[in-house]
Amino acid sequence: CKFLQFQLTVNITACTIAVVGAAVLTESPLRVIQLLWVNLIMDSFASLALATDDPNRVPGLKEQLLNRKPYPRTQALLSKIMVRNMFVQAIYQLIVLFILIFMVGDVCEAGATVNECGGLPYWKAPIDMGIRSGRPTDYDLINLPEDVKCVNAYKHSDPETYWYVRNLAIDASGDRFDGAIPLRTRNYCEEQHGCGERSVHLTIVFNTFVLLQIFNEINARKLHGEFNQFQGALYNDMFIGVMVGTLISQVVLVQVPGINQAFGCAPLDIIQWVVCVVIGASCLLLHYVCAMLPYDWIPLGSWAGSMDDATLDEENEAIRAEMLAKDKVTAATAGATPGDVEMSGVPQQVRND
When pLDDT is cut at 50, 70 and 90, the band that residue 196 belongs to is very low
The per-residue pLDDT for range 259-311, each reduced to its tens digit, is: 998 898 999 999 999 999 999 999 999 999 988 888 777 776 554 555 555 66
> Is pLDDT larger for residue 10 or for residue 345?
10
Q: How large is the average pLDDT for residues 138-150?
A: 66
Distance CA 286, CA 95 (A): 13
Max mean pLDDT range (70-74, 97-101, 218-222, 347-351)? 97-101
Q: What is the pLDDT of residue 13?
A: 93
CA nearest 132: which of 209, 208, 197, 187?
197
pLDDT at 209 exceeding the cut of 70: yes
The predicted pLDDT at position 72 comes to 64
Residue pair 115/199 in contact (Cβ under 8 Å)? The answer is: yes
* CA 111 to chain CA centroid, nearest Å: 32
Tell me, what's the pLDDT at 118? 75
Instruction: Please give the average per-residue pLDDT across 30-57, as a whole number.
Output: 81
Nearest-CA neighbor of 342 among 318, 316, 324? 324
Q: What is the pLDDT of residues 299-318, one digit of tens each?
A: 765 545 555 556 656 666 77
Q: Is the dihedral of CA 39, 12, 223, 349 positive or negative?
A: negative
